[in-house]
Amino acid sequence: MASSQTEVERAIVTIVQCFFDHAGDEGKKETLSVNEFIKLSSKELPHLMKDVSLEEKMKDLDINRDNELKFNEYWRLIGELGKQIKKEIKPKK
């Protein structure tokens, strides 16, 4: 991708890349198993996920209950974390 990407564009690419980097570790290449989800969360999101039971969170996110997180299920987590971060960021006056 172009090197002139903005910080925000790079951030989105990083989030998407993070999913596929971990999804490819075992089993299905395009979904996260429980193990892959736990590894992703503890390695990439240690501060945001520190008070979270990862097994419970996996169940919350796994809408179709197949014990795998598809990209859209993972993206719900990103949405939740965004809302969490929003509470800590003050709007401009």
Q: Does 62 bind Ca ion (CB under 5 A)?
A: yes
Report the residue from 27, 35, 55, 60 that binds Ca ion according to the rule CB under 5 A. Answer: 27
Q: Which residue has the tokens 């903005």?
A: 6
CB of 77 closer than 8 Å to CB of 36: no
**Which residue in 64, 71, 72, 84 binds Ca ion (CB under 5 A)?**
64
Element (H, E) at 43: helix 34-44
Judged by CB under 5 A, the stretch of 13-21, 52-60, 64-72, 74-82 that binds Ca ion is 64-72
* CA 65 – CA 93 distance, rounded (Å): 44
Which positions lie near Ca ion, rule CB under 5 A? Answer: 23, 27-28, 62, 64, 66, 68
